[in-house]
């Protein structure tokens, strides 16, 4: 600051829009004999601009996703095959349980039919004895 404003501590620096232009009305009036570029920082003195390059943005390179996609596809294919096998096994087990249940019902029905037939025969015999 000493370099630009000398020993004057009351001077308010101009608002710098960029290193060559000032905001309107914000610059302090010049005194007799002062240089007109007092508030303009030198490019090598500006800490924000040194060492920076303002080139075009570079595009990020696309990662090769084919390996990841192939790996995911393999995993999902294996899972699909395992799920298919489990579903088939569960279906076979359900069919076996249904078959056993039908056999039990048929056996029960045959037993009920024999008991009913025996009961009717017993009633017929009893009725024949009491009628005669």
- Taking residues 66-95, what's their average pLDDT? 93
Asked whether residue 50 carries a pLDDT value surpassing 60, the answer given is no
Gap between the Cα atoms of 91 and 97, Å rounded: 10
pLDDT tens for each residue of 53-74? 666 677 777 667 788 888 999 9
Please report, for the chain, the start and end positions of each structural domain, with discontinuous segments joined by +. Answer: 1-43, 65-125
H-assigned helices in 6-65: none
Gap between the Cα atoms of 20 and 39, Å rounded: 9
> What confidence score (pLDDT) does residue 130 get?
66
Which residues, 6 or more positions from 38, have their beta carbon under 8 angstroms from its beta carbon?
Answer: 4, 5, 30
């Amino acid at each position: 600051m000493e370099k630009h404003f000398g020993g004057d501590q009351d001077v308010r620096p101009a608002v710098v829009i960029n290193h060559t232009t000032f905001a309107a009305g914000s610059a302090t009036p010049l005194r007799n004999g002062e240089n007109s570029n007092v508030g303009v920082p030198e490019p090598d003195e500006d800490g924000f601009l040194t060492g920076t390059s303002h080139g075009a943005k570079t595009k990020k390179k696309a990662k090769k996703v084919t390996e990841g996609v192939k790996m995911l596809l393999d995993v999902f294919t294996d899972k699909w095959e395992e799920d298919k096998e489990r579903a088939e096994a569960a279906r076979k087990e359900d069919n076996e349980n249904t078959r056993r249940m039908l056999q039990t019902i048929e056996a029960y029905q045959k037993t009920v039919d024999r008991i009913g037939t025996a009961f009717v025969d017993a009633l017929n015999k009893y009725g024949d004895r009491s009628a005669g």
